[in-house]
Each structure stands twice: as structure tokens, then as C-alpha cells.
Structure 1
Amino acid sequence: MSAFATVADGVHAVRVPMPAGGLPDSLAYLIEDDRGRVHIVDPGSPTDEAGGALLAALDALGRGPSDVAAIVVTHLHTDHAGGATALRSLSGAPVLMHEREAAAAVKLSHGLPAPDLDGWGVPADRRPELLAAVRAPIAPGAVPADVLLTDGDLLDIPGRRIRVLWTPGHTPGHLCLHDEEAGLLFTGDHVLPTVNPGLGLGGPTDTNPIADYLAALDRIAGFDALALPGHEQPFTGLAERCAALAEHHLRRAREVAAHPGGTVWEVASTLTWTGGWEALRGFTLLSALSQTALHRDFVART
């Protein structure tokens, strides 16, 4: 897919550059309504380069910031929500987010809660990088939500029926957006075409994010829709991808269940990681350990 592409009638995808160190870009979506205005889903990272990509996309449509009617954020992570505050200042458009995500963003604006490194059995020489990863904010410093959304809401986009679907797991208030008439599903980081999204990356919750995620996958697997994800590229075969993601986590749960003893560190070191256990550093290591702990809790609850 090119840097700017029309993916459906009145819907355009924009590759928004991300800072080096992870995926190269996120996908923002520009949705035109029947009054000539534009609604933006996930404006991307809080950098000049990212903001420039959005402005260039608006210009390609013959529009400018004053034509932006709303900014919808699928979840709190900086590579999706980070540019919302600047775009709101430029356009005057409100920012919309699920109510649970807005609450989580307040808690995470200064970083993730400190993990139980002692309880996890983390070796002393690996603790500094984990503590540094915890201190790095993963949500914008200022909570951008102006309008709080709940499951089942219809967005105010004239000429379209786009419904909010609460899909927790990646974060507590992650949402997908279903364009019921156009057959489109904006999936954020809930379902990506090849990457396995991390879970539990929105702070502690009363429920288990693994169980939440599996239930949310079941909810959307039956949609006959073109999936418009937050990274990579639009794709079809949503049911098959949801099944693959569910099996990935069920397999991980079986692997964890096979090692009932040992610390989280010891169990995590025996599991299969895409880049290999030895390659995990900083935030990716923290995520791996956190998800191992979540899978242990999931196994204990089921």
C-alpha cells in the first residue's frame, strides 16, 4: 500500500511515520461524510513528520484542518493517540475515545506501574532496563478525550453508520469501529494481519486481558468485512486471522500450564518468542514477562 490510498468509497488510509525502533508506521484513516467534512481515526505519533503526513493527506483530498469534524482514537498508545492533541489544536475538532480507555490513559500518562521484579524472579543485571521501560510513557502526557464512547454507540458521521465495538485485551478500553453498510471494520491493534498484538498493555484490570481478548476476538470474527488495521495493511479473511490469534494465545497458555513451577522469568525463558528469548530487551522483554504472568493467571482461572 502506498503512503496514501483510497481503501473504500470515501475512506482513505495514510501511512503515518513512527519513531525508529519498532514498526515503521501506523495507519490513520480519513473518513469523508456527506457534508464534505473528514473524520480521522488514529492520527498517529506526536511528531512533526507524523503531523505532516496527515496534513498532506488532507491536502490530497482538497481539504484542510478546518474540515476535520472529529478525531477518533481506537486506544491510548502514543503511536495511535499521540498526535490527537496537536490535531485538535489545529482543527478545533473533538477527540473521541472509549470511556475505559480515557480512564486508563490518566493512569498511564507517566508510565506503566512498576512490576513485581522480585516475584517474577528477574536477575539483578536485567532489572535496570525493565525499570527504564516502565518509566517511558506509552500514553500521551495529556489525556485528549473530549467525548467518551461506550459499546454500541453510533458515531456522528453523516451518511454513514459506524458503530463502536468495545474490544478489550490489548488495552482495557480498546475499540473497533464497524461501518455496517460499507462492510468495513477498523481494528486498531486488536487484529493485525501478521503481527501478534501484545496484551495487557493498558495497565492493571480486574479481569484477565487474555480472557478479555479471546472473547473480543469471538465477537468480531463473524463480521464479513474488510479489516482496516492500525498497522501493516488492510486485509480480508478476518475469521481466519481471529482464529489464528486465538490459537496463538491458547497455545501459549498450554505452554505456560506445562511449567507450573518456577518463576515468571524461568517460565518465560522456555516459551517460543517470535524474535527469540535472547533478543528481548527493554519494553519487549517487559511485555513478554507481563504476558507470561497474565497467561499464568489465565491458566489458574480456567
Structure 2
Amino acid sequence: MDLIELLPRLHLLRFPVGQAYLWRDGDALTLVDAGPAGSGAEIAEAVTALGHRPRSVRRIVLTHFHEDHAGGAAEFAALSGAEVLAHRLEAPVVRGDVPGPEPVFEEWERPLHARALELLPEGDFARPGQVTEVSGGDVLDLGGGAHVLHVPGHTDGSIALHLPEHGVLFTGDTVAASPVDGTVMPGVFNRDGAAVLTACRRLAELDTDVACFGHGDPVRGRAGRTLREAFPP
């Protein structure tokens, strides 16, 4: 796992598949997504390397239920005591109460998905016993007020987090950056591609300086303009 500083209070945690983010408010930390199964101890090590205790992480906000984002949540919650949050439509899947619906693959996505599966641990992952449910329009107590945006399309209950006070946006897998040239693009492996594009345009309307994606390099500086260029009305 790579640990990369984006801002003095924001770090990127990059896994073989997917990535997570650590946001700091004073001595309190928030983890946005939690990597795949087996990531709990690595996240704890990263938190410690930054001079904090794992118990400084108060909450884990999951942008959606896929294993490369939610797989490490129960492990790290057990180590830290952090509260796990997810959209009300995702929470039953995160808890393991119901199976998650499959993406509707484009043909060109199938080999990409097969490659991703080769890099992920086999089998199911540990499930958090408690998941706090959130909805679009909620405001979380971090970063001066983190606005929860319901952006269905990648999954039915996908969310983004917008911190207006800091100009920071966490898009989850709704938006991605190409690993080849960094081009900003809609995420892949979606339930509804048209809905994803609508969500991308909605996120592009926000006043954003730093955009943090579920896959690919974040945009650091004038991210709103980059998103609007990628997703014109």
C-alpha cells in the first residue's frame, strides 16, 4: 500500500485495486473507503506512521459496497472502534444481509474486471456488525460539514462527499482517472451507465479544488474546471 500526501490534512492510501483517503480534523480522522479484505492492519500502520493512533479514526465512510472499497471496513473498525457509515441502500449489502447486484458490463469491461478480480483476495470479506445509514442531503461532522450526495449509477446507493469549506470532493467510483494518461472519465463496472454520466455532470457543477477518485490519480487544483471539461452539460 502507498501513502501519499495530497494536502496537509488529506492523504491517499493506494491498494493494488482501489484506494481510500484519510481526512484529518485536528486529532480526529475520517477514513473514506477502506480498501479490499486484508487492508485493516495496513491502514492502522498508515495511521500510526502519520503520528496518530488507530482509535483517532472516528468514522469510516463507504462510498459503495464493492469489495475493493468495503472489504477492509470491518477489520479496521475492529482495530479502531470507528463507526462505519454507508448509504441506506448499500448498508444491507455491506452488512451481508443481502447480496449486492452485479454490474451491467460492457464487453470491453469484462477483461478489465477479470484482471481486477485476480488482484483481489478470494472469497467474501468480514462484515461490520453495525452500519450507520446515511442519505443524500445529510451533512456529516467532518471538514466543516461534509455533504452527502446520492449519486446512483455505479451502484444504487453510491455516494460522494463534498467538503465545501475546503473545496474537496470524494467521488467514489462515479468518476475515475485513466491509469494511462490521467484523463478524467466516468467510472467503470456500473449498474446504469446513463445514470453515472448524469451523476458526473452533477458533481462537475460543484465548487471543487481537489477531486479524489476511487481509482486513478486525484485532481489537485481547479478540479471543478477539469470535471466540467470532462463532463459538459
Which one of 24, 31, 48 corresponds to residue 32 of structure 1? 24
Any residues of structure 2 matched to 1:1-302 within 5 Å, and which? Answer: 3-16=2-15, 24-34=16-26, 36-47=27-38, 50-105=39-94, 106-108=97-99, 112=102, 140=125, 142=127, 145-157=130-142, 160-194=144-178, 196-200=187-191, 209-225=192-208, 226-235=210-219, 236=223, 237-243=226-232
Deviation at residue 11 of structure 1 after TM alignment: 1.1
**SS across alignment from 1:62:** coil
Amino acid at match of 1:29: Y
Q: Matched residues in 2 for 1:40 and 1:160: separation? A: 16
Matching residue's letter, 1:83 = G
Shift of 1:218: 2.3
Distance in 2 of aligned mates of 1:183 and 1:138: 38
Gaps of 5+ in 1: 17-23, 116-128, 130-135, 201-208, 247-302
Shift of 1:220: 0.9
Deviations 1:122-150 (A, max 9, x none): xxxxxxx9xxxxxx999746365521000
Percent identity, aligned pairs only, is 35
**Which residue identity does 2:135 align to in structure 1?**
T
Gaps of 5+ in 2: 105-113, 115-120, 179-184
Specify the structure having the higher radius of gyration (Cα): 1
Matched residue SS, 2:90: helix
Q: 1:137 to 1:149 in 2, by over 3 A?
A: farther
More strand by share: 2
Under a length normalisation based on structure 2, what TM-score does the superposition of the two structures give? 0.77
Aligned residues: 203
Q: Note the aligned Cα RMSD (angstroms).
A: 2.8
